[in-house]
Amino acid sequence: MSRQLDEPVWRLLLRAAIRAVLMWGVLFGCAGRLDWPRAWLFVALLVTTLAVTIPVFCRENPRILRTRLGKTQGAKLFDRALYALTMASLLACLAVAGLDFRFGRSSLAFKWTYLGLLVYVAGCIPIGLAAATNPFLERTLRIQQERGHVAVTTGPYRVVRHPLYAGVLLMTASWPLLLGSTWAYLPWAVLVVTLIVRTALEDRTLRRELSGYEEYSRQTRYRLIPEVW
């Protein structure tokens, strides 16, 4: 790895560590205890995912390490608001699961964890492919005119127009299964609505402002689910 990328990698690792501590603090704080094997399995899964994906991003799409850091200039206001709601929904999923464990309101049998693992891995695939394929991928939408921004039409973008969001929805659908909480699907439903609205607004903006996107949207008809929508 070049010296030029060393600092962004370490900054990304630090940011990822801070977010992880926040997520785990919410999860175990709401649970009120640490002796929760399924939560520790969940934590181990997230750590493993980071350990695998960061080196892949360094090799396949190193610029994403920079664009996922700090603030980006010119991001659309609606997307910044929806991004904040997305993150709040994710934290709410963990909070509800933790409270559910503490008070025993619902409890999925451990066998559901196996399905959760399959769904989690299935969701990680489009996320990883989108990150490796799209050099313009950022946390929030902006037209990157300084970089000659064009519509990406290869890889998972040949299947759906928003493969990253599709992967996020699938991956996070596994969280209640992994943590054994049916109530956690309530904030997950908020996440679903948020990302559906986000894809609609982003599509409208990209059709209007990004060269080639209108034609691309006619070729790739589906936003999130192939052959459905």
Report whether 207 contacts 213 (CB < 8 A): yes
pLDDT of residue 144: 85
User: At residue 6, does pLDDT exceed 50?
Assistant: no
Of 55-59, 102-106, 130-134, 220-224, which has the strongest mean pLDDT? 220-224
User: At residue 211, does pLDDT exceed 70?
Assistant: yes
Q: How confident is the model at residue 29 (pLDDT cuts 50, 70, 90)?
A: very high
Q: How far apart are CA 33 and CA 228, in angstroms?
A: 42
Amino acid making up residue 76: K
Domains of the chain, start order: 3-219 (1.20.120.1630)
Q: How far apart are CA 130 and CA 188, in angstroms?
A: 22
**pTM for the full predicted model:** 0.88
- Average pLDDT for 152-168: 95
Q: How confident is the model at residue 3 (pLDDT cuts 50, 70, 90)?
A: very low
Q: Please enumerate in sequence order all residues whose Cβ is within 8 A of that of 16, keeping only pairs 6 or more positions apart, or say none.
A: 50, 54
- Average pLDDT for 104-133: 92
Task: Assign 48 to helix, strand or coil.
Answer: helix
| pLDDT, tens digit, 9 for 90 and up, residues 59-111 | 766 666 666 555 566 788 899 999 999 999 999 999 999 999 999 888 899 99
pLDDT of residue 147: 81
Q: How far apart are CA 200 and CA 90, in angstroms?
A: 20
Amino acid making up residue 100: D
